[in-house]
A and B are shown apart, each in its own frame.
Chain A
Amino acid sequence: MKIAAHLGKFKNLDASLQRLDPHSDCELWIWTAMNAGVHLLNAALHHAGATREVDSFHTQVEGLYAVPDRTRGILADQLHPPGDVMHVGQPPIAHSLPPAIEQACSSLKLIEDLREPHVRGSEPMRPGAEEAWMRAYRDYVERLLGALDTSGGAR
Protein backbone atom coordinates (compact mmCIF):
# COMPACT_ATOMS: atom_id res chain seq x y z
CA MET A 1 0.00 0.00 0.00
CA LYS A 2 0.95 3.61 -0.16
CA ILE A 3 2.67 5.18 2.85
CA ALA A 4 -0.33 7.38 3.62
CA ALA A 5 -2.63 4.35 3.65
CA HIS A 6 -0.30 2.46 6.01
CA LEU A 7 -0.23 5.43 8.36
CA GLY A 8 -4.03 5.58 8.30
CA LYS A 9 -4.23 1.88 9.16
CA PHE A 10 -1.69 2.33 11.94
CA LYS A 11 -3.71 5.17 13.39
CA ASN A 12 -6.93 3.10 13.36
CA LEU A 13 -5.28 0.04 14.88
CA ASP A 14 -3.45 2.07 17.51
CA ALA A 15 -6.79 3.64 18.52
CA SER A 16 -8.38 0.17 18.73
CA LEU A 17 -5.45 -1.03 20.82
CA GLN A 18 -6.12 1.67 23.39
CA ARG A 19 -9.55 0.08 24.00
CA LEU A 20 -7.99 -3.29 24.82
CA ASP A 21 -6.30 -4.43 27.98
CA PRO A 22 -3.04 -6.36 27.44
CA HIS A 23 -3.91 -8.75 30.25
CA SER A 24 -7.64 -9.47 29.99
CA ASP A 25 -7.69 -9.02 26.18
CA CYS A 26 -4.23 -10.47 25.60
CA GLU A 27 -5.08 -12.34 22.39
CA LEU A 28 -6.57 -9.39 20.54
CA TRP A 29 -4.11 -6.97 22.15
CA ILE A 30 -1.16 -9.00 20.78
CA TRP A 31 -2.74 -9.27 17.34
CA THR A 32 -3.69 -5.60 17.11
CA ALA A 33 -0.30 -4.41 18.36
CA MET A 34 1.32 -6.62 15.73
CA ASN A 35 -0.88 -5.38 12.89
CA ALA A 36 -0.38 -1.75 13.88
CA GLY A 37 3.37 -2.35 13.92
CA VAL A 38 3.44 -4.11 10.56
CA HIS A 39 1.67 -1.18 8.91
CA LEU A 40 4.12 1.25 10.45
CA LEU A 41 7.00 -1.01 9.42
CA ASN A 42 5.75 -1.08 5.84
CA ALA A 43 5.50 2.70 5.78
CA ALA A 44 9.06 2.99 7.12
CA LEU A 45 10.41 0.41 4.68
CA HIS A 46 8.82 2.21 1.73
CA HIS A 47 10.07 5.55 3.04
CA ALA A 48 13.62 4.17 3.32
CA GLY A 49 13.45 2.72 -0.20
CA ALA A 50 13.93 -0.83 1.09
CA THR A 51 10.59 -1.93 -0.38
CA ARG A 52 8.43 -0.49 -3.16
CA GLU A 53 5.49 1.76 -2.37
CA VAL A 54 2.87 0.18 -4.61
CA ASP A 55 -0.91 0.04 -4.50
CA SER A 56 -1.20 -3.65 -3.68
CA PHE A 57 -2.19 -5.60 -0.59
CA HIS A 58 -0.39 -8.56 0.90
CA THR A 59 -2.61 -11.65 0.97
CA GLN A 60 -2.44 -14.50 3.51
CA VAL A 61 0.05 -16.23 1.20
CA GLU A 62 3.65 -15.01 1.47
CA GLY A 63 4.74 -13.02 -1.56
CA LEU A 64 1.28 -13.02 -3.17
CA TYR A 65 -0.33 -9.61 -3.58
CA ALA A 66 -3.84 -8.47 -4.46
CA VAL A 67 -3.75 -5.52 -6.84
CA PRO A 68 -6.88 -3.36 -6.77
CA ASP A 69 -8.61 -1.95 -9.80
CA ARG A 70 -10.16 0.95 -7.93
CA THR A 71 -12.40 2.00 -10.78
CA ARG A 72 -14.05 -1.39 -11.02
CA GLY A 73 -13.64 -2.31 -7.33
CA ILE A 74 -12.02 -5.66 -8.04
CA LEU A 75 -8.70 -7.30 -7.15
CA ALA A 76 -6.25 -9.38 -9.18
CA ASP A 77 -3.62 -11.68 -7.67
CA GLN A 78 -0.05 -10.84 -8.62
CA LEU A 79 3.42 -12.01 -7.61
CA HIS A 80 5.84 -9.10 -7.39
CA PRO A 81 8.85 -8.09 -5.28
CA PRO A 82 7.93 -6.44 -1.96
CA GLY A 83 5.85 -4.38 -1.76
CA ASP A 84 4.40 -4.83 1.67
CA VAL A 85 5.70 -7.37 4.13
CA MET A 86 3.25 -9.59 5.97
CA HIS A 87 5.48 -10.00 9.02
CA VAL A 88 9.10 -9.31 9.95
CA GLY A 89 11.17 -11.18 7.34
CA GLN A 90 8.12 -12.37 5.37
CA PRO A 91 8.89 -11.99 2.57
CA PRO A 92 12.61 -11.38 3.06
CA ILE A 93 13.98 -7.98 2.03
CA ALA A 94 17.07 -7.89 -0.14
CA HIS A 95 18.29 -4.46 1.04
CA SER A 96 20.12 -3.74 4.29
CA LEU A 97 17.94 -1.72 6.64
CA PRO A 98 18.64 1.45 8.60
CA PRO A 99 19.56 0.65 12.25
CA ALA A 100 16.35 2.22 13.64
CA ILE A 101 14.24 -0.09 11.47
CA GLU A 102 16.38 -3.13 12.35
CA GLN A 103 15.91 -2.38 16.04
CA ALA A 104 12.19 -1.83 15.59
CA CYS A 105 11.98 -5.21 13.83
CA SER A 106 13.50 -6.90 16.90
CA SER A 107 10.83 -5.41 19.15
CA LEU A 108 8.05 -6.20 16.69
CA LYS A 109 9.30 -9.78 16.41
CA LEU A 110 8.92 -10.10 20.18
CA ILE A 111 5.19 -9.38 19.77
CA GLU A 112 4.86 -11.58 16.67
CA ASP A 113 6.37 -14.49 18.58
CA LEU A 114 3.54 -14.30 21.13
CA ARG A 115 1.03 -15.52 18.54
CA GLU A 116 1.69 -19.24 18.85
CA PRO A 117 1.79 -19.53 22.67
CA HIS A 118 -0.89 -17.01 23.60
CA VAL A 119 -3.26 -16.54 20.65
CA ARG A 120 -3.35 -19.81 18.73
CA GLY A 121 -2.18 -21.74 21.79
CA SER A 122 -3.26 -21.54 25.40
CA GLU A 123 -0.03 -21.00 27.29
CA PRO A 124 -0.73 -18.89 30.39
CA MET A 125 0.77 -15.41 30.63
CA ARG A 126 3.69 -14.95 32.98
CA PRO A 127 2.78 -12.48 35.74
CA GLY A 128 3.71 -8.98 34.61
CA ALA A 129 4.46 -10.07 31.04
CA GLU A 130 2.22 -7.35 29.65
CA GLU A 131 4.66 -4.69 30.87
CA ALA A 132 7.35 -6.06 28.54
CA TRP A 133 4.84 -6.28 25.71
CA MET A 134 3.78 -2.67 26.11
CA ARG A 135 7.43 -1.59 26.27
CA ALA A 136 8.13 -3.45 23.03
CA TYR A 137 5.10 -1.82 21.37
CA ARG A 138 6.15 1.66 22.44
CA ASP A 139 9.72 0.92 21.30
CA TYR A 140 8.89 -0.04 17.74
CA VAL A 141 6.27 2.66 17.34
CA GLU A 142 8.73 5.31 18.47
CA ARG A 143 11.58 4.00 16.32
CA LEU A 144 9.44 3.63 13.20
CA LEU A 145 7.79 7.02 13.56
CA GLY A 146 11.29 8.41 14.01
CA ALA A 147 12.40 6.65 10.83
CA LEU A 148 9.46 8.24 9.06
CA ASP A 149 10.20 11.60 10.62
CA THR A 150 6.52 12.09 11.38
CA SER A 151 6.86 12.95 15.05
CA GLY A 152 3.57 14.40 16.17
CA GLY A 153 1.99 14.00 12.79
CA ALA A 154 0.90 10.38 12.53
CA ARG A 155 -0.77 9.57 15.85
Chain B
Amino acid sequence: MNGEQHRAKAVRIERSLARLTDADYEAVIEGAMLAGTHWFNILLHQAKLFPETRDAMHAEFLTLGDRRRVAATMPDALAALDTIESLRTLQVRGDMPGGEAAAKTARECLERLRSAADSPH
Protein backbone atom coordinates (compact mmCIF):
# COMPACT_ATOMS: atom_id res chain seq x y z
CA MET B 1 0.00 0.00 0.00
CA ASN B 2 1.16 3.56 -0.43
CA GLY B 3 1.91 5.95 2.39
CA GLU B 4 -1.42 7.73 2.17
CA GLN B 5 -3.34 4.46 2.48
CA HIS B 6 -1.22 3.32 5.44
CA ARG B 7 -1.73 6.68 7.14
CA ALA B 8 -5.50 6.54 6.67
CA LYS B 9 -5.60 3.05 8.19
CA ALA B 10 -3.34 3.99 11.11
CA VAL B 11 -5.43 7.07 11.90
CA ARG B 12 -8.67 5.07 11.78
CA ILE B 13 -7.30 2.39 14.11
CA GLU B 14 -5.99 5.03 16.52
CA ARG B 15 -9.44 6.60 16.56
CA SER B 16 -10.86 3.20 17.52
CA LEU B 17 -8.20 2.83 20.21
CA ALA B 18 -9.42 6.07 21.76
CA ARG B 19 -12.71 4.31 22.55
CA LEU B 20 -10.88 1.79 24.73
CA THR B 21 -9.25 2.13 28.12
CA ASP B 22 -6.17 0.32 29.41
CA ALA B 23 -8.56 -2.18 31.04
CA ASP B 24 -9.19 -3.35 27.45
CA TYR B 25 -5.52 -4.18 27.28
CA GLU B 26 -5.77 -7.14 24.90
CA ALA B 27 -7.55 -5.06 22.27
CA VAL B 28 -5.31 -2.05 22.96
CA ILE B 29 -2.14 -4.08 22.38
CA GLU B 30 -3.56 -5.55 19.17
CA GLY B 31 -4.71 -2.15 17.94
CA ALA B 32 -1.30 -0.69 18.70
CA MET B 33 0.29 -3.51 16.72
CA LEU B 34 -2.02 -2.90 13.75
CA ALA B 35 -1.73 0.90 13.69
CA GLY B 36 1.98 0.71 14.54
CA THR B 37 2.61 -1.65 11.63
CA HIS B 38 0.96 0.81 9.26
CA TRP B 39 3.24 3.62 10.58
CA PHE B 40 6.19 1.22 10.32
CA ASN B 41 5.37 0.51 6.68
CA ILE B 42 5.24 4.25 5.94
CA LEU B 43 8.77 4.49 7.37
CA LEU B 44 9.95 1.50 5.34
CA HIS B 45 8.58 3.06 2.16
CA GLN B 46 9.95 6.54 3.00
CA ALA B 47 13.41 5.07 3.59
CA LYS B 48 13.13 3.10 0.34
CA LEU B 49 13.80 -0.08 2.30
CA PHE B 50 10.58 -1.62 0.97
CA PRO B 51 8.74 -0.53 -2.19
CA GLU B 52 5.07 0.39 -1.88
CA THR B 53 4.23 -2.95 -3.50
CA ARG B 54 5.67 -4.78 -0.48
CA ASP B 55 4.54 -4.37 3.14
CA ALA B 56 5.93 -5.85 6.34
CA MET B 57 3.43 -7.90 8.34
CA HIS B 58 5.39 -8.11 11.59
CA ALA B 59 8.83 -6.85 12.60
CA GLU B 60 9.56 -10.37 13.82
CA PHE B 61 8.98 -11.74 10.31
CA LEU B 62 11.57 -9.52 8.61
CA THR B 63 14.40 -11.52 7.11
CA LEU B 64 17.71 -11.25 8.93
CA GLY B 65 19.09 -9.08 6.15
CA ASP B 66 16.06 -6.78 6.14
CA ARG B 67 16.17 -6.48 9.94
CA ARG B 68 19.81 -5.38 9.81
CA ARG B 69 18.97 -2.76 7.17
CA VAL B 70 15.98 -1.52 9.17
CA ALA B 71 17.96 -1.49 12.43
CA ALA B 72 20.65 0.59 10.78
CA THR B 73 18.13 3.07 9.37
CA MET B 74 15.33 3.37 11.94
CA PRO B 75 16.37 1.58 15.14
CA ASP B 76 13.86 3.27 17.45
CA ALA B 77 10.88 2.44 15.24
CA LEU B 78 12.03 -1.18 15.00
CA ALA B 79 12.46 -1.38 18.78
CA ALA B 80 9.01 0.14 19.34
CA LEU B 81 7.29 -2.37 17.05
CA ASP B 82 9.31 -5.25 18.52
CA THR B 83 8.10 -4.22 21.98
CA ILE B 84 4.44 -4.09 20.94
CA GLU B 85 4.73 -7.49 19.24
CA SER B 86 6.37 -9.02 22.32
CA LEU B 87 3.38 -7.94 24.44
CA ARG B 88 1.02 -10.00 22.28
CA THR B 89 2.42 -13.32 23.48
CA LEU B 90 2.44 -12.20 27.10
CA GLN B 91 -0.90 -10.45 27.36
CA VAL B 92 -3.10 -11.34 24.37
CA ARG B 93 -2.29 -14.98 23.70
CA GLY B 94 -1.01 -15.37 27.25
CA ASP B 95 -2.20 -14.36 30.69
CA MET B 96 0.86 -12.99 32.41
CA PRO B 97 0.19 -10.26 34.99
CA GLY B 98 0.53 -6.56 34.20
CA GLY B 99 -1.99 -6.14 31.39
CA GLU B 100 -2.85 -2.50 32.03
CA ALA B 101 0.80 -1.49 32.30
CA ALA B 102 1.38 -3.35 29.02
CA ALA B 103 -1.41 -1.35 27.38
CA LYS B 104 0.33 1.88 28.45
CA THR B 105 3.61 0.62 27.03
CA ALA B 106 1.89 -0.31 23.77
CA ARG B 107 0.35 3.16 23.47
CA GLU B 108 3.76 4.77 24.17
CA CYS B 109 5.41 2.65 21.50
CA LEU B 110 2.65 3.51 19.05
CA GLU B 111 3.25 7.20 19.75
CA ARG B 112 6.95 6.70 18.96
CA LEU B 113 6.10 5.05 15.64
CA ARG B 114 3.62 7.79 14.71
CA SER B 115 6.10 10.53 15.62
CA ALA B 116 8.80 8.90 13.53
CA ALA B 117 6.47 8.62 10.53
CA ASP B 118 5.35 12.22 10.97
CA SER B 119 8.81 13.73 11.36
CA PRO B 120 10.35 15.47 8.33
CA HIS B 121 12.47 13.16 6.22
Contacts and interface: CB of A to CB of B under 8 A. Distances in A.
Contacts of B9: 27, 119, 122
Contacts of A19: 19-20, 24
B58 interface: yes
Contacts of A88: none
A80 to B, nearest CB: 15
Given A59-B89, A60-B89, A75-B90, A28 B27 contact: yes
Q: How large is the interface on B (under 10, 10 to 19, 20 to 34, 35 or more residues)?
A: 20 to 34
B103 to A, nearest CB: 11
B17 A1 contact: no
A18 to B, nearest CB: 10
Nearest to B28: A16
Contacts of B17: 28
Interface residues on A, range: 20 to 34
A57 B30 contact: no
Contacts of A122: 1, 5, 8-9
Interface string A115-148: 0000111100000000000000000000000000
A27 B16 contact: yes
B16 A84 contact: no
B18 to A, nearest CB: 10
A63 interface: no
B88 interface: yes
A68 B93 CA distance: 12
Contacts of A20: 16, 19-20, 27
For A16, A17, A68, A75, the residue with the greatest tally of chain B CB atoms inside 10 Å of its CB is A16
Interface string A83-97: 010100000000000
Interface of A: 1, 5, 8-9, 12-13, 15-17, 19-20, 24-25, 27-29, 31-32, 35, 57-61, 66, 68, 73, 75, 84, 86, 119-122
Given A16-B24, A19-B20, A27-B16, 11 more contacts: A5-B95, A12-B24, A16-B20, A25-B15, A25-B19, A27-B34, A35-B27, A60-B58, A60-B85, A60-B89, A86-B93
